Structure 1
Amino acid sequence: MDKFYQSLMQAPIGMVVLRGRELVIEMVNDTYLTIVDRAREEVANRPLMDVLPELQGQRFPELLRAVWETGNTQRESEALTYVDSHDGRRKYYLDFEYTPLRELNGTVSGIMVTVNDVTVKVEAREKIQAAEQRLRLAIEATNLGTFDWDLENQEFYSSPRLVEIFGFPADDAVSHQQLIEALHPDDLHIREKAVSTSFTTGGLSYEARIIWPDKSVHWIRVRGKIVHDDDRKPLRMYGTAVDITQQKTFTQELEKKVQERTAELKESNHALQKSNEELAQFAFVASHDLQEPLRKIQTFATRIQATEDALTDRGKDYFRRMQQASMQMQQLIADVLSYSRMNAAGQHVEALDLGMLLANVQEQLSERMEAVGATIEMAALPVVKVIPYQFEQLLTNILANALKYIKPDVPPRIVITAGTADGQAIGPLAGDGVYYRIAIADNGIGFDPQYSERIFQVFQRLHGRNEYEGTGIGLAICKKIMDNHHGFITATGEPGQGATFFLYLPA
């Protein structure tokens, strides 16, 4: 008897014996005490409802009374129960049975309660069901059709959406073979190859055309995954299918437009190439046939002035103006030619010390610097990758400007410094890279800040020809050279306060 009692006390199922109409606890095992979170001395020989008052309002007291009064067993599975524990109210799911205990004369004298805590099992199942519901909603939202292919028994399940994708009513019973037969004959080999490969790789993936019952052609994309047993034998294939007809149609239309646009661009490039060839021919004419008459005008004007004594002062002035106009036109032709030839295609790039390059430019401008008493202060400059003759032309143009636009009676002073700058600080077109930053500042007449972009445009002059010589192309050439080097040029200035040019070159 002791062994039997001990077994009851240690049983994995909660057990309690209730006696009398008051349902006094006569015997209770350890599992039941764990479920209700009570100590043995708290429950022994006390009415159940005094020990567990939280059961009032729940259905269990009513069921117990029904067992007592009718003598019929009451049982239930996964009953939701709330029990007050030492750390608050807990929710349980319990399988229970209330069995009447009878005297020899058949009257009910007690109730045997057995309780099995199945909370973990129920909550796990609810989580799985919730996950399945979320998955269903996600699949419905993406318009995916799903399938489950039992490879062992060759049984195939398709979702209603999959049936619709193949052009059938959702509630039709469509067999696997019917779905295969819906594939376009020219695309059957695509599926066969994909399925064959999936048995090796474990994954199914292909796109193919299908023919609906109404003979219209549609595109589908199929994805699948094979489940193997421990011996790597394929057991099942789970997968999805989606209608990509609209996407395919858009892609095909886009490809067609790209091809048409490519053909148009090819034609435009051909026309542009022809135009460039014509411009090159014009440049040749400009550099030879146009400049030769200008040289003759200047030569004969000079001879007439030197040999003809009968010229009046007015006639001499006319000849002087004629010479100046021809010289300006000659310079304009030279500058236009220089601008048109400043391209990056086929140009040799090499790493050069900017300090040495500036020294060469300074030597070329030495006579002009001496004439105006100019000085140049130069900090240490970096080694950069440039097209040598183009960058020399750029530096020459900027320094020549600084020696041209000077203030009266103020010796020109040019300061050249270098550093680095982040692309984001330069502008949106510069990107995220790092750039060398070369600043060339002068103390000349400066310019109004509103013209900081205009000065880099072709033929843009801020002063008349009578004030300062030039054609208005020099800074436009500088900008084109910086474009050729994937860099940037900017300028700042104030009237009477000088100007600063900033050169940004990729580091």
Structure 2
Amino acid sequence: MILIVDDISENLVALKKTLEVHGLQVDTAQSGEEALKKILKQNYSLIVLDVQMPGMDGFEVAEILAGSNRTKDIPVIFLSAVNRQKRFISKGYETGGVDYITKPVDPDLLILKVKTFLKLSEQKTELKNIRDILSKEVEIRKAAEENLEAKVAERTKELIEKNEELEFRNHELQQFAWVVSHDLKEPIRKIELFVKMIKERYLTDNPKATDYVDRTVRAAQRMSKLITDLLDYSRLSSDVAPEKADINAIVDEVISDLDYLIEEKNAIIIKKDLPKIKGVPSQLRQIFQNLISNSLKFSKKDISPIIQISSELITEKNFDAPADDNGLFCRITVTDNGIGFDERYLDKIFIIFQSLNDRREYEGTGIGLAIAKKIIEKHNGLITAKSQPGEGASFIIILPVK
């Protein structure tokens, strides 16, 4: 259940409908006082809290929540139409908030952040249950095998020393993570570390429990990658001034970054002359990073991937537009000889969190193509794909030249 707190009823209705459309359960309150009364009676997984309210404002509510053992772990997302300065945003984090969104609210960004924190909440509950099961099994094993105490003590000492070293080395990294990812990755790192400590300290001789721990660690790692991709996706909502971008140079950079994987897969990349267009180079780079990475990832076993990248100028923003040397748009095609996909699911591959393949065999978050699509749309372009299972895929991009 999500609680939305805003003193303006129109805002409450709009936010509630936005979340309910995505199947989320929502409760509302029109003041800080009403919110605190509801929180005493109801358990909430997430609170979306307006800063500017008469009487008790959002910061005061967050401070009260942070001071209670029962409510201190409830994630709070602040909403505000004003106070965009860094010092006010910092105050939001200092009072216990986990994120800060300014009004008018971008519905896509709101849904992404709400779903992310709900997933983290579910993950935390699941990890706690697993930890409880493991703790009980540890107690049983410890009671049955007293001779393990000496080994546990020795291993504990090693872990403490290593943990102290890790804490020292991670201090600056934690500071950076707070700025870059709003501290989203820090809880996951702690969960992963503590579960590994349980494994190494108590479960070295228990294959079943070790398997549970390894699954938990992998889940935490996938969540970390998911947060990184979500941050990349959410950053696309900000406006960046376009400039002249050389697609040839951008693709060459991507190929250079992927040289290890290209060499490992024995891949062949054929790049024809690509245009210079007006855009945001860093975002355009993400497009080709995702497309080329996908071609390498979804290659056939024991067959060297062949990736061809070509382009031509066209008369209009249409996938079937004829070529024209004086055209105002360019059509860029990235073709591979990989496993392909069924075109019945074409729309699905560009939706965030969607994947057509078994993620146990093909690692990924299902966000890469959604990022590419959003970047292309922000550049006033189009993207589609053509494919058949087992016959490779072609991704077709149309972008304005100027």
> 2:105 — aligned with what?
275
1-structure distance, mates of 2:266, 2:192: 31
SS in structure 2 at match of 1:293: helix
Is the CA contact (8 Å cut-off) linking 1:441 and 1:501 kept in structure 2? yes
2-structure distance, mates of 1:309, 1:448: 44
The C-alpha deviation readout for 1:270-301, integer Å capped at 9, x for no partner, is 79824349949979899344311111122233
CA pair 372-457 structure 1, distance change in 2 beyond 3 A = same
One-letter amino acid of the structure 2 residue matched with residue 459 of structure 1: F
2-structure distance, mates of 1:350, 1:321: 45
> 2:330 — aligned with what?
436
Is the CA contact (8 Å cut-off) linking 2:317 and 2:381 kept in structure 1? no
Could you tell me the percent identity over the aligned residues? 39
2-structure distance, mates of 1:424, 1:319: 51
Is the CA contact (8 Å cut-off) linking 1:418 and 1:438 kept in structure 2? yes
Following TM superposition, by how much is the alpha carbon of 1:424 offset from its aligned partner in structure 2, in angstroms?
6.1
Following TM superposition, by how much is the alpha carbon of 1:346 offset from its aligned partner in structure 2, in angstroms?
3.0
> 1:377 — aligned with what?
270
> 1:212 — aligned with what?
none
Q: 1:317 aligns with which of 211, 234, 246?
A: 211
Q: 1:358 aligns with which of 236, 247, 251?
A: 251
Q: Are 1:473 and 2:367 matched, yes or no?
A: yes
Is the CA contact (8 Å cut-off) linking 1:286 and 1:333 kept in structure 2? no
Length-normalised TM-score, structure 1: 0.43
2-structure distance, mates of 1:310, 1:469: 27
Q: Are 1:331 and 2:225 matched, yes or no?
A: yes
SS in structure 1 at match of 2:391: coil
1-structure distance, mates of 2:196, 2:266: 31
The C-alpha deviation readout for 1:10-58, integer Å capped at 9, x for no partner, is xxxxxxxxxxxxxxxxxxxxxxxxxxxxxxxxxxxxxxxxxxxxxxxxx
SS in structure 2 at match of 1:447: coil
2-structure distance, mates of 1:421, 1:274: 37
Matches within 5 A, 1:351-500: 351-423=244-316, 425-426=318-319, 434-500=328-394
> 2:42 — aligned with what?
none
Unpaired runs of at least 5, structure 1: 1-269
Aligned-residue RMSD, C-alpha: 3.2
1-structure distance, mates of 2:179, 2:243: 32
The C-alpha deviation readout for 1:333-388, integer Å capped at 9, x for no partner, is 22222211113x53021112111111111111112212211121101111111101
> 1:35 — aligned with what?
none
Is the CA contact (8 Å cut-off) linking 1:437 and 1:504 kept in structure 2? yes
CA pair 329-361 structure 1, distance change in 2 beyond 3 A = same
Matches within 5 A, 1:74-473: 273-276=103-106, 279=110, 287-308=181-202, 310-343=204-237, 345-423=238-316, 425-426=318-319, 434-473=328-367
Following TM superposition, by how much is the alpha carbon of 1:461 offset from its aligned partner in structure 2, in angstroms?
1.1
1-structure distance, mates of 2:369, 2:395: 10
One-letter amino acid of the structure 2 residue matched with residue 506 of structure 1: P
2-structure distance, mates of 1:309, 1:450: 46
Q: Between Structure 1 and Structure 2, whose CA radius of gyration is higher?
A: 1
2-structure distance, mates of 1:425, 1:316: 54
Following TM superposition, by how much is the alpha carbon of 1:451 offset from its aligned partner in structure 2, in angstroms?
1.9
CA pair 468-362 structure 1, distance change in 2 beyond 3 A = same
Following TM superposition, by how much is the alpha carbon of 1:434 offset from its aligned partner in structure 2, in angstroms?
3.1
CA pair 321-399 structure 1, distance change in 2 beyond 3 A = same
Following TM superposition, by how much is the alpha carbon of 1:416 offset from its aligned partner in structure 2, in angstroms?
0.6
Length-normalised TM-score, structure 2: 0.53
CA pair 373-307 structure 1, distance change in 2 beyond 3 A = farther
Following TM superposition, by how much is the alpha carbon of 1:476 offset from its aligned partner in structure 2, in angstroms?
0.8
The structure where strand makes up a greater share of residues is: 1
One-letter amino acid of the structure 2 residue matched with residue 418 of structure 1: S
CA pair 405-385 structure 1, distance change in 2 beyond 3 A = same
Is the CA contact (8 Å cut-off) linking 2:245 and 2:280 kept in structure 1? no
1-structure distance, mates of 2:233, 2:355: 16
Q: Number of residues paired by the alignment?
A: 236
Is the CA contact (8 Å cut-off) linking 2:308 and 2:335 kept in structure 1? yes
